[in-house]
Amino acid sequence: MMEEMIWRGLGVSGGRSAGKTWYLEEYEAEVQEENPKNSSVDEEIERLQQAIILTEQNLTQLEAKVKAERGEALAQIFGAHKLLLSDPAFIGEALLRLQKGHLSAEQALQEVAGEAIRMLRSLDDPYFQERAVDVQDVLVQLLQNLRGSQGNSSDLFPETGNYVILADELTPAQTIALPKERVLGFVVRKGGKTSHAAILARTYGIPALVGVAEGWEELKNQSWVEIDGEAGWVRQTPEGHTLSANMEGMEEETSLASGLLGELILAANVGSPDDLAFVKKFKAQGVGLYRTEFLFMGDTLPTEEEQVQAYQQVISSCAPDLTVIRTLDIGGDKRAPALQLPQEKNPFLGVRALRLTLRRPELFRQQLRAIWRAAAAGPTAIMFPMIATLEELFQAKEILNLSREEVVQAGYPVGELEVGMMIEIPSAAWMANKFASEVDFFSIGTNDLTQYMLAVDRENNELAELYQPYHPAVLGMIARVSQAGLQAGVWTGVCGEAGGDALLAPFFAAVGIKELSMAPGSLPKVRHALASLDLKLDEKISLVDSVLACATASEVKEVLGKVTPIA
């Protein structure tokens, strides 16, 4: 019998999978000869400046796509890449070297980027070591644009079949370009837990391990492997052996009545119909947040028919489970060229979400008509974001009713809609008992609620330690909203990042939350945590009282850690 071969690395995204491998070749960024074309200094500077413009456009598109589909936190990766394009130590230095003559734009970039990459990798701090990948990613895109090539090695991914990806290094742009629904796992030679590849793998729920340096040359020649993204190993496996990336060890066939699991619906957050594969893969019970912004991020606005198609695709796929569609949540913080949004000093407190659509009634009515029409395909709910006052809710409901009449008059079938609102502004949370008589459900957007409760910009890394979803004031407000809903016979869900936090899941169940909606990859761990607990009424009351008696977020985590089994 052949001795089993096993390689070890750092597990960064849980789950087990097995299958055929595909090695992602690195983009060849070979050093150019000194200006072989003998072009002038001005011509090389012009070439570089044009490449910068094209690269910035590409990064802006990536940033908008990821922000619409996966939220602001991940989109910051590409925002940071754009900043490199104006960094005097990078582009500025390359331009200075071009001005001295004899170099091509390619060589100037490679010299400067190479020095930056070597410097970052020489530092002891893993965070800065991993930022070398950011420089490499931007360099590759600049070189591609200089050479007139928009593609990269990920474009060569096989047209059919599922694969475990092997890569020396995995950049954010490469990861986004890969068809994630056909990726069984990632095995990367370089990188750490905070690398962008690791963050993206966790976001998409794909098993991954990084830092597999020892025996790499032998590993990358393996045709079939099995990996464990939790334990951090990869091993040789017989040809034909496949295992889906299903978080084995947590995704055993668990009865929906197990523990607290039967008390909650576990739904998925999706950003477009492309995410439907993940909804199915991770066994979501419908969609608790369908972000519609992806349709509005381009250079032209979507037609009503295009919207109907996009909404119907998700609704029909999820039926008989419910699909909750959020109306357009966009503002000065998101790039949407076709909407021609003015830049605001403080976009998170400005004209965004419902505030924007109420000011553009035709845009709003068109989306509402599309949702009414699409709702005929299956169970559908609509929710309005960024509501601060009852008057806003009244206005939105009035326009919703007018839009239904327009659909009926046009002769289209009309579906039924549950009508809800997001609770993400403290005033709405505080007055939840007043809002409850006007809606069928609440959906708590914990990202913004935390931001507004604690007065912390959630995109400001300098204040990251103050952005605390575990803060007792935030959790107390969530409990208040849920209680108001229960008293009025209105169900309450959580659709922010906290909805996918396995440590918080039992607390949410204890305060009466009925639905948790999350990134599909978070479903197995939350399902496991809930199925492993069976709290009686007095234990739920005790848990809630203990959490709300805490004075700090760290105390809350300590309390929750004693009751919540996290694998």
Q: pLDDT tens, 500-530?
A: 888 999 999 999 999 999 888 888 889 988 9
In order of 14, 148, 174, 294, the CA distances from 151 in angstroms are: 30, 9, 10, 23
Q: How many domains does the chain have?
A: 3
Give the pTM.
0.72
Helix (H, G, I), strand (E, B) or coil at 467: coil
Q: Are the CB atoms for 519 and 70 separated by under 8 Å? A: yes
Question: Is residue 550 annotated as a catalytic residue, yes or no?
Answer: no
For residue range 408-434, what is the model confidence (pLDDT) as tens digits? 999 999 999 999 999 999 999 999 999
- What tens digit of pLDDT does each residue of 98-155 get? 888 778 888 889 888 888 888 887 877 666 676 787 888 888 889 888 877 655 555 5
pLDDT at 204: 78
Of 81, 318, 495, 550, the active-site residue reads 495
Rounded Cα distance, 205 and 180, in Å: 9
* DSSP structure class, residue 288: E
**Per-residue confidence (pLDDT) for residue 26, from 0 to 100:** 66
Same domain for 475 and 391?
yes
329 & 420 share domain: yes
Residues 342 and 420 in one domain: yes
Q: What is the pLDDT of residue 224?
A: 92
Asked whether residue 558 is assigned to any structural domain, the reply reads no
Bigger pLDDT: 464 vs 418: 418
Task: Let me know whether 342 and 277 are in one domain.
Answer: yes
pLDDT at 152: 53
In terms of domains, do 109 and 170 share one?
no
CATH of the domain at 89: 1.10.274.10
Please report the pLDDT score of residue 408 as a whole number: 96
The reply to whether 378 and 312 lie within a common domain is yes
Q: Is residue 62 part of a domain?
A: yes
Active-site annotation holder among 81, 196, 471, 528: 196
Q: What is the mean pLDDT of residues 546-558?
A: 94
- Examine the domain organization and report whether 119 and 59 are in the same domain: yes
Classify residue 557: in a domain, yes or no: no
* Structural domain contains residue 126: yes
Is 102 annotated as catalytic?
no
Higher pLDDT, 245 or 321: 321
CATH code, domain carrying 214: 3.50.30.10
pLDDT of residue 64: 78
Residue 564 maps to a domain: no
Least confident range of 104-108, 250-254, 328-332, 375-379? 250-254
Confidence of residue 565 (pLDDT cuts 50, 70, 90): low
Q: What domain range includes position 122?
A: 41-146
Distances (CA, A) of 115 to 110, 132, 136, 141, 182: 8, 10, 11, 18, 36
Q: 419 and 309, same structural domain? A: yes
Query: Greater confidence, 59 or 14?
Result: 59
Say if residue 330 is in the same domain as residue 369: yes
Query: Residue 548 falls within a domain, yes or no?
Result: no
| Winning range, highest mean pLDDT, from 96-100, 244-248, 545-549 | 545-549
How much of the chain exceeds pLDDT 70, in percent? 89
Chosen domain end from 146, 177, 205:
146
In this structure, which long-range contacts are made by residues 131-135, counting pairs with CB atoms below 8 Å and at least 24 apart in sequence?
Answer: 133/169, 133/170, 133/171, 133/172, 133/190, 133/191, 133/195, 133/196, 133/197, 134/77, 134/80, 134/81, 134/84, 134/172, 134/196, 135/84, 135/90
**Residue 506, in any domain of the structure:** yes
Q: 259 pLDDT exceeds 90?
A: no
